[in-house]
Structure 1
Amino acid sequence: MSEPTLILRNARAITFDPARLRAGAVALAGDRILAVGGEEVAALATASTEVIDLGGATLIPGFNDAHAHMEREGLKRLRPSLAGARGVGDILERVRAAAAQTPPGQWIVTMPIGTPPFFFDGAATLAEGQPPDRHELDRAAPDHPVYIPGLFGNWGKPPGHSVLNSRALALNGITAATVPTCSGVEILKDANGEPTGVIVERNSRPTVEFDLLPAVPRFGFAERLEGVRLSQRLYNAQGTTSVYEGHGSAPETISVYRRLWELGELTVRVGLVVSPSWADIAEARRAMRDWLAHARGAGLGDPWLRLSGVHIAYGGDPAVACCARANLPDTGWSGFVEQALTPADFREACLLAAEHDLRLHTIVSDKLHEVVPVLEAVNERHRLAGRRWVIEHIGRARLADLEALKRLDVLVTTIPTYFLWKGGAAYLEEPDGGDLVVPHAHLLRLGIPTAIATDNIPYDPFFTLWTVCNRRERTSGRVIGPDQRLDAETALRLFTVAGAALTFDEGWKGPLRPGFAADLAVLSEDPTAIDPDRLRDLRCRLTVAGGRIVHREGL
């Protein structure tokens, strides 16, 4: 037997290993678990073993965030925050402070107006009820172009208010005659018909930068690299040791992760999916045939970075997709490439993916009933069993369609915070009380492999756990689909060990089991022993990824 490098003793371990569901100690040897048990495990310590007494704290496998968008979170720390601003004067003071530290002529770009992480309040809650205009920003920073972006709608709720001063408007060529290409965008004008500097966006994923603001500085490779470095620390501090990016990653995003992998800097295991930039089915056919062999089947990679499969959108706005492709390699906050496929093109793309053994990932929201017939048609030509295709973002569903997913051997990832808490108002009047909205209990009863995820709204897994177990809509507090609430232990399983199947890693990653990956987290309290209302108050005290301590607080 190898000598242990780290022993965690006096623990309340929830292992998710059927052979031993509870344990009091875990010993690690390098990047693997050496032993799981009681005090006999603690007795394995040698002079070189680090031993940590957990004092009865709860130990679980590390969180595996199955739809993480981890590339975003650190980027938010690279721009000046406007959080806490109660009026236009507060915002102008922060712009002045930024101008004092920025060489004349260089851009000042802040975070959106409002309170992170959601920015729900936005400009409407400022004392004036509106953001500053171009002239107010001109006075605060006369020698700089200034841009205050609108919120990224996936965090909160549109509309968002972008604001530019006169220098910024001029550099972007915005005049009284400018007309947006994309719908959902409005350039506000004063009594003389001139732009006020405020642009209102009603789209969930902002198009204003792609469409109207070519001169605004983008996140470059260096910023995205530093952003992921910051993100990893933040995700590790929540107990997250693995992420899966089923929404797809653009070439630039993949390059960032590849670089961190080369440098040996990954502290979160990363599963990536290709977000393609093809413009039509002919280009998609060539790309799948000639350029995506590395993403076929289980893909390529190692225990820290794996690339497998392709994300294919169902629907989308062609104008938005065109603008997004024209701005590559920049993808804004998203990290993926916007797509737009008609139902016919989606069907053809799915058939091509099956032909070339590329795992499909697609977001269905409330349209599962439209996507399932496509999957069934594909299955008639190319059997889907064993391919691990993934359906994501299920909102409202029908039982017959869930049963079809089981027959087709399709995996599911859900985004409970997005549909139940943040956007739950849309489902408050469902005839069945919301029983088929993000229907976790139905998915589990049918035996459909399911993993849950944060979607970076927010990246805190404890908030998502709270949502899964309570299912309360944020504005009314009403419960959506009470029979679909899960107990904390079941929710934890979906958020830790279940995600390993997405990267074909269930044979070595997930449960706290000898020989498996040494990925684990120590929590402030036992989620299975507290009131479900308190789940979002949990904190992570220690995180171990690959046998290395990557976060430690108070232990």
Structure 2
Amino acid sequence: MNPLPGAAEPLVLRNASIITFDETRPRASAIALQGGKITAIGSDAEVPPIPGVRELDLKGACVIPGFNDTHAHMEREGLKHQRPSLAEARSVADIIEVIRNLAASTPPGQWIVTMPAGRPPFFFDGVASLAEKRLPNRYAIDKAAPDHPVYIPGVFGNWGKPPGHSALNSRALALNGIDANSEPRLSGLEIEKDARGEPTGIIVERNNRPTVEFDLLPAVPRFGFAERIEGVRLSQRLYNAKGTTSIYEGHGSAAETISVYRKLWELGELTVRTGLVVSPSWSDLAEARRIMRDWLATARGAGLGDPWLRVSGIHVAYGGDPEVAHCARAHLPDTGWSGFVEQAVTPADFREASFLAAEFDLRLHTIVGDKLHEIVPVLEAVDARFPLRPRRWVIEHIGRARQSDIEALARLGVLVTTIPTYYLWKGGEKYLDDPDGGDLVVPHRRLLNAGIPLAIATDNIPYDPFFTLWVTCAREERTSGRVIGIDQQLGVEEALRLFTVNGARLTFDESWKGPLKPGFAADLAVLSDDPTALPVAEIRNLRCGLTIVGGRIVHDDMLTPGARR
């Protein structure tokens, strides 16, 4: 184990409303922490004072196990804060003023790269948030920053929705070799040109995950290793501040991303327990076999690691655009905002890769969307030769499902993670007219009734677990407020269990992490209110006042004198 700097301070928390998720004692009011573990829990009378140990009176505050975000993309959040924001800009003039100020403080010749137009975290409004409904063109930006290349990127589609609008000035266009004769190689991109056929500096992207930088903008600065290290450092503080104590990156992590976490682990700087999955970069099945056989032994089975960092299994995509994958891979180790390697896998190759993964005892993770019915037959065929139940394969991002496929997952012993915000709130519009009212869209109740091990996650859209908790319980589509699949709504305590203790199975850690019970990890969050006692609509307004990981306080917004309450 690579512990956090400084010993965990022994603590006793009293006068609390503790939701334990321990069936032998579901509720408690006091908990003792020592040596990174829970040593006692019960009523205030049942947890006696410990000589020399500090006691904290929580004044009735609610304590829960820390959130385990099982599709977190934590490597991404901190990077957003490394680029200047345009969130307050409401006109072209506002953006020009931001660029002018940046130019005044940036050495001549250096790049100026901002965040997209629009309001975070979703950027749904994009250029529509501006009075002119457009970005400034190259000539307007030239006047504000004549000595700098400038790039205003379009939105990353996983946060908001396409199209994304990028803007570059003349220096930036020249450095990227974009002129009147330039045309994108990839579909979904458009270089806007004026009546003379000259680029205006505006590029429109209609792809969900942006390809513009990989295709057209090789000169734009990338996030390097140092930036990614600092990004995760900040991400951890942000996730800790929401009560998140563990993450699992089932979508897979590129080698560069794994290296970032490994470095922070080596430095003893992890404050979020991290489970990673390999995002492979093989180009064909022959290479896949060699890599699985010769290079991924450390990711087999439960993988290798300790309570702070573990790597196990691989992510293999189902589908994808071959041209996009080829273009993106040419820029490795840079992965843009994604953090994983773009893949394009045909159904036939997915089937073969699944058999190879089973042969070499590598847990398979795949995102299914609305195509679970195409994946299940592959899993059943693999199971006939290599029983899947003990291997804990993972199906992610379930959109629309069929009852027969849900029952098949239960028979196979496959684990499931869902992204409620992605399919119900953010992208639920396409399911509003389903004949069954959306009963089979992200069907949490059906999955639980089938006995499937289930966990929910944020997908970093946004990273706030309270928002995802609200979506899971309310299931409201964002543009209409209509409920998708009313019978699939979960109670708050049910949803909270999926978001805290259930994720431990994904990292084979359920014997020591999750419920608040003696001998288990001292990973917990102190909330502003008891979510189980609130109206569902108020859940998204919850705050976390205190987060403890391994017995160490990693976020304090309630105990330190002067801290905001």
TM-score, normalised relative to structure 2: 0.97
Which amino acid is 1:275 matched to? S
Contact 1:4–1:46, Cα closer than 8 Å, also in 2 = no
Instruction: Tell me which of 438, 441, 447 is aligned to 2:442.
Output: 438
Q: Show the counterpart of 2:42.
A: 37
Q: Against the structure 1 CA distance between its residues 204 and 548, is the aligned structure 2 distance closer, same or farther, given a 3 Å change threshold?
A: same
Contact 1:4–1:45, Cα closer than 8 Å, also in 2 = no
Q: Show the counterpart of 1:12.
A: 17
CA–CA separation in structure 1 for the residues paired with 2:328 and 2:98: 31
Q: Show the counterpart of 1:363.
A: 367
Contact 1:311–1:360, Cα closer than 8 Å, also in 2 = yes
Q: Show the counterpart of 1:335.
A: 339
CA–CA separation in structure 1 for the residues paired with 2:173 and 2:283: 30
Q: Show the counterpart of 1:22.
A: 27
Instruction: Describe the SS at the equivalent of 2:38.
Output: strand
Q: Show the counterpart of 1:63.
A: 67
Q: Show the counterpart of 2:392.
A: 388
Q: Show the counterpart of 2:532.
A: 528
Which amino acid is 1:298 matched to? A
Unaligned runs of 5+ in 1: none
Deviation at 1:45, TM superposition (A): 2.4
Instruction: Describe the SS at the equivalent of 2:260.
Output: helix
Q: Show the counterpart of 1:53.
A: 57
Q: Does 1:323 align with 2:327?
A: yes
Deviation at 1:449, TM superposition (A): 0.2
Q: Show the counterpart of 1:477.
A: 481
Q: Show the counterpart of 2:5.
A: none
Deviation at 1:4, TM superposition (A): 8.1
Instruction: Tell me which of 108, 115, 118 is aligned to 1:114.
Output: 118
Deviation digits for residues 155-185 of structure 1, max 9, x if unmatched?
0100000111000000000111111111111
CA–CA separation in structure 1 for the residues paired with 2:87 and 2:129: 12
Instruction: Describe the SS at the equivalent of 1:509.
Output: coil
Deviation at 1:30, TM superposition (A): 1.8
Q: Show the counterpart of 1:296.
A: 300
Contact 2:274–2:310, Cα closer than 8 Å, also in 1 = yes
Instruction: Tell me which of 129, 142, 145 is aligned to 1:141.
Output: 145
CA–CA separation in structure 2 for the residues paired with 1:519 and 1:183: 46
Contact 2:13–2:31, Cα closer than 8 Å, also in 1 = yes
Which amino acid is 2:45 matched to? E
Contact 1:153–1:204, Cα closer than 8 Å, also in 2 = yes
CA–CA separation in structure 1 for the residues paired with 2:324 and 2:433: 32
Instruction: Tell me which of 470, 492, 499 is aligned to 1:488.
Output: 492
TM-score, normalised relative to structure 1: 0.99
CA–CA separation in structure 1 for the residues paired with 2:220 and 2:296: 33
Instruction: Describe the SS at the equivalent of 2:26.
Output: strand
Deviation digits for residues 207-232 of structure 1, max 9, x if unmatched?
00011110000000000000000000
Deviation at 1:91, TM superposition (A): 0.4
Q: Show the counterpart of 1:307.
A: 311
Q: Bigger shift: 87-96 or 32-41?
A: 32-41
Q: Show the counterpart of 1:168.
A: 172
Deviation at 1:40, TM superposition (A): 2.9
Contact 2:40–2:47, Cα closer than 8 Å, also in 1 = no
Unaligned runs of 5+ in 2: 1-7, 560-565
Deviation at 1:522, TM superposition (A): 0.5
Task: Give runs of aligned pairs for residues 143-222 of structure 1, distance below 5 A.
Answer: 143-222=147-226
CA–CA separation in structure 1 for the residues paired with 2:82 and 2:293: 39
Q: Show the counterpart of 1:405.
A: 409
Contact 1:26–1:41, Cα closer than 8 Å, also in 2 = no
CA–CA separation in structure 2 for the residues paired with 1:413 and 1:50: 38
Deviation at 1:430, TM superposition (A): 0.4
Deviation at 1:41, TM superposition (A): 4.8
CA–CA separation in structure 1 for the residues paired with 2:165 and 2:29: 52
Deviation at 1:51, TM superposition (A): 1.2
Instruction: Describe the SS at the equivalent of 1:16.
Output: coil
CA–CA separation in structure 2 for the residues paired with 1:82 and 1:338: 28
Deviation at 1:8, TM superposition (A): 0.8
CA–CA separation in structure 2 for the residues paired with 1:30 and 1:188: 61
Instruction: Describe the SS at the equivalent of 2:287.
Output: helix
CA–CA separation in structure 2 for the residues paired with 1:133 and 1:371: 46
Deviation digits for residues 90-142 of structure 1, max 9, x if unmatched?
00100111111110000000000000000000012210111111111101100
Deviation at 1:506, TM superposition (A): 0.1
CA–CA separation in structure 2 for the residues paired with 1:435 and 1:450: 17
Deviation digits for residues 33-91 of structure 1, max 9, x if unmatched?
010011135523222x1211110010000000000000000000000000011000000
Instruction: Tell me which of 210, 227, 232 is aligned to 1:223.
Output: 227
CA–CA separation in structure 2 for the residues paired with 1:42 and 1:239: 24
Which amino acid is 1:10 matched to? N
CA–CA separation in structure 1 for the residues paired with 2:452 and 2:95: 49
Contact 2:21–2:497, Cα closer than 8 Å, also in 1 = yes
Contact 1:137–1:165, Cα closer than 8 Å, also in 2 = yes
CA–CA separation in structure 1 for the residues paired with 2:54 and 2:161: 47
Q: Does 1:97 align with 2:101?
A: yes
Contact 1:27–1:41, Cα closer than 8 Å, also in 2 = no
Percent of counterpart pairs with the same letter?
75
Which amino acid is 2:314 matched to? V
Instruction: Describe the SS at the equivalent of 1:40.
Output: coil
Q: How many residues matched?
A: 552
Q: Show the counterpart of 2:262.
A: 258
Q: Does 1:537 align with 2:541?
A: yes
Which amino acid is 2:230 matched to? E
Q: Show the counterpart of 1:286.
A: 290
Contact 1:95–1:141, Cα closer than 8 Å, also in 2 = yes
Q: Does 1:462 align with 2:466?
A: yes
Which amino acid is 1:444 matched to? L
Q: Does 1:125 align with 2:129?
A: yes
Contact 1:133–1:165, Cα closer than 8 Å, also in 2 = yes
Q: Show the counterpart of 2:380.
A: 376
CA–CA separation in structure 2 for the residues paired with 1:270 and 1:128: 44
Contact 1:522–1:543, Cα closer than 8 Å, also in 2 = yes
Instruction: Describe the SS at the equivalent of 2:391.
Output: coil
Deviation digits for residues 284-339 of structure 1, max 9, x if unmatched?
11110111000000000000000000000000000010011100000000000000
Instruction: Tell me which of 235, 243, 246 is aligned to 1:239.
Output: 243
CA–CA separation in structure 2 for the residues paired with 1:303 and 1:182: 42
Which amino acid is 2:118 matched to? G
Which amino acid is 2:43 matched to? G
CA–CA separation in structure 2 for the residues paired with 1:283 and 1:196: 43
CA–CA separation in structure 2 for the residues paired with 1:489 and 1:193: 60
